[in-house]
Chains A and B, each alone.
Chain A
Amino acid sequence: MTAEPVQTRSGYDGETLAALQHDAAAITARYPDPRSGLLPMLHLVQSVDGYVSRDGIMFCAEQLGITSAEVSAVATFYTQYKRKPNGKYTVGVCTNTLCAVMGGDAIFDELSEHLGVGHDETTDDGAITLERVECNAACDYAPVMMVNWEFFDNQTPESATVVADRLRAGEAVAPTRGADSVCSFKQMSRVLAGFPDGRAHEGVGAGEASLAGLRFARERGATAPDRTGADDAPGDGTGTDQAAGEVPGTITGEPGSSAERTPATSSDLETGKDKKPGEDAR
């Protein structure tokens, strides 16, 4: 039992409530005004309950000293907050114009028929909530599907159905660009509340489409222009001394120079530690 009784109208047990209060305090500490913590706090209650429950609303209201009506007003405004228990995975098919005409409509229809649910409905086993989603900023990978807001690029009805079946079977499923596997809705909600899960270094830096222009530029030897001369540099110039003795950045490189970086040594691939900034900056 916690040392002091906590007055709450939410129905959380003591242990859950204490953990929530601990996290809520960490959230509000990020902002000059605690009220700014409401959005992450709503993600937090979804990480416990799987949706924004009545208890969750009461909890947020009590933490921030506002009314439950004020919390509800916010919770109902944003589409990521669910007012009924969500599936373990939100499977969202982009059916905004570009994805839709390139196949998103067909993917949604196929999934809907395959899973036996429509938009914003959850399969009987509680595994998947199917949604039509709006543009998710991956148009160069159309048609796009999101699973718990990880990218599944360049989908077809067949590939999307396979993903859904594997999710329902409890398999680990890897997004195209994202962590090594999709996490649960509750785990995702905790990250969105601002609590890292240690998976930032998983997955790719950029997908193929993101690199399309860069690859053509490399083939053509196209680079950004040289700077127009050291005299134009702001400041006294000492800030760039460090670069002088090192491998030049591509910005100052010529086609075929060492600035065209393919990893040459093991240090090029070193990822474990970040060096301290150079003393020359002082």
Chain B
Amino acid sequence: MTDLLPVLTDTWDAPRSWRLSTYEKHGGYDGLKAALKMPPGDVVQAVKDSGLRGRGGAGFPSGMKWGFLPPDDGKPRYLVVNADESEPGTCKDIPLMLASPQHLIEGVIITSYAIGSKHAFIYVRGEVLHVYRRLLEAVAEARRVGYLGTDILGSGFDLEITVHAGAGAYICGEETALLDSLEGLRGQPRLKPPFPAVAGLYARPTVVNNVETIASVPGIIAQGADWFKGMGTERSTGHGLFSLSGHVTTPGQYEAPLGITLRELLDLGGGMRGGRPLKFWTPGGSSTPLFTAEHLDTPLDYESVGAAGSMLGTRALQIFDDTVCVVRSVSRWTEFYAHESCGKCTPCREGTYWLKQILRRIEDGAAGSGDIDLLLDLCDNILGRSFCALGDGATAPITSSIQFFRDEYQAHLDGHGCPFDPAASALFPYTPRTRTPGTALVGAGAGGHR
């Protein structure tokens, strides 16, 4: 059986885990010291050899991404860390940066050295005040001891890190929207190509990587590519944070090799809340098609999850038991996508708004007999026709939930409303406020969340 494997989480229970001194006491910055003795190209090669793939959702091989940068022309190139963790269910980077920000900072320095960047940026969402404080302080601590600045550890390598707070926009997790936002613009995705590796921040060659990806780099350099490849599966190598949330006995962060199954994670964590049956779950956040109990033994690696019809995404395992109405859940996610659509492309801007309205009337028992098929038809017109992955992601919970739970949608139509007691899925007893069908959500205000 696959077991837990603390690497990035290993220092999180240490006293004042976020301090540089704590991190160094546990081997921190050994990776940087080793890297600075290597030619930059060897660092890139080590990461290629490790098989590390992007931990932000797409799973693209990180070393290959770095290798796409054009040859050095003497002008600036940038590393930008995507710390805009906002995908519903995803909650791994925020605790990592709160507990062990130096893990990320060391990774940023090594990666910048590897790709020849002298100015790196960490774009963290603005809605996590204390994480931003910790990151600013982590950079200051690293600078005080000479890990940042000029001639780092006598290597001749110079680096500054700017930690940049966003201001509330899910779309800025999309890498080109993030770059526009970092340039002081509205966060809207750019047409690709050119890819950021060729024309990214300020139209210069840029690597954009997720927090966990970059935080995994120091271990690879300090312990070796073979050490990293010794974990996980052949094509999904290494360790990963699995974030268990929802109706489980022990929600939290579980660090394990890629390829562990949900059944194994649940066995480790004490199973489902109150022993209730698992109804549905997301393997990688709300933008990845839903799984059910039949997928408990699907290895959580990129290939196996893909073959089973979903995506590994960010390993955001949101677990819902049989008290939960799938229509209510999907309807709420859809409101999220409609709220967060940046408005740049028509299929997403208009489509998510339509989807939201149809799901709302299904929830309220006011839907017509053709509305389920209308949802599917709309999804068909959004998926693959949107400018970026937000529109695609919006369709994933809808099409997958209809695939597995069409009867439940039909029950809302036939029964003119939701057959579930919303209080049953809560963690505490309460009496739901009376809902008036069709008007229950009025009052949120134009442009509001609901």
Bitwise, A106-131 to B at CB < 8 A (1) or not (0) is 10011000000011100000000001
Which residue from chain B places its CB closest to the CB of A37 in the assembled complex?
A: B184
Contacts of B25 in A (CB 8 A): 246-247, 268
Given that A194-B163, A233-B34, A242-B30 are contacting pairs, would A149 and B129 also be in contact in the complex, using a CB cutoff of 8 Å? yes
On B, residues with C-beta under 8 Å from A are 3-7, 9-10, 12-22, 24-27, 29-30, 33-38, 42-43, 46, 76, 85-91, 93-95, 98-100, 119, 125-130, 132-134, 136-137, 140-141, 144-147, 153-154, 162-170, 181-187, 202, 219, 221-227, 230-231, 239, 242-247, 250-256, 268-269, 286, 316, 318, 320, 324-325, 328-330, 332-333, 336, 339-340, 342, 422-423, 425-428, 430, 432-433, 443-445, 448-450
Q: Does A145 contact B (CB under 8 A)?
A: no
A214 to chain B, nearest CB (A): 5
Contacts of A275 in B (CB 8 A): 21, 24, 145
B224: contacting residue among A131, A179, A217, A228, CB under 8 A = A228
* B448 and A134 form a contact (CB under 8 A): no
Q: Does A171 contact B (CB under 8 A)?
A: no
Report the separation of the CA atoms of residues A151 and B94 in the bound assembly, to the nearest whole angstrom. Answer: 11
Those 7 A-B pairs whose CB atoms lie nearest each other, nearest first:
A212-B252, A213-B254, A78-B167, A38-B184, A200-B137, A79-B168, A239-B33
A-B pairs with CB below 8 Å: how many?
412
Given that A100-B332, A239-B34, A274-B19 are contacting pairs, would A210 and B167 also be in contact in the complex, using a CB cutoff of 8 Å? no
12-53 of chain A: CB within 8 A of chain B: 30-33, 35-40, 42-43
A209: contacting residue among B10, B170, B253, CB under 8 A = B253
* A131 and B252 form a contact (CB under 8 A): no
Q: Does A167 contact B (CB under 8 A)?
A: no
A154 to chain B, nearest CB (A): 8
Given that A97-B88, A213-B9 are contacting pairs, would A250 and B26 also be in contact in the complex, using a CB cutoff of 8 Å? yes
Given that A222-B5, A224-B10 are contacting pairs, would A43 and B133 also be in contact in the complex, using a CB cutoff of 8 Å? no
Bitwise, A144-181 to B at CB < 8 A (1) or not (0) is 00101111000011000000000000000001011100
Question: How many residues of A are in contact with the other chain, CB < 8 A?
Answer: 122
Report the separation of the CA atoms of residues A64 and B24 in the bound assembly, to the nearest whole angstrom. Answer: 41
Which residue from chain B places its CB closest to the CB of A182 in the assembled complex?
A: B129
B129 to chain A, nearest CB (A): 4
Given that A35-B184, A191-B129, A271-B21 are contacting pairs, would A277 and B147 also be in contact in the complex, using a CB cutoff of 8 Å? yes
Q: A97-B333, A102-B246, A235-B38 are in contact. List 20 more A-B contacts (CB 8 A).
A: A30-B162, A35-B184, A74-B185, A95-B450, A96-B88, A98-B245, A134-B449, A135-B87, A141-B251, A150-B130, A179-B130, A179-B133, A201-B16, A206-B99, A209-B253, A212-B244, A218-B13, A243-B30, A274-B20, A277-B147
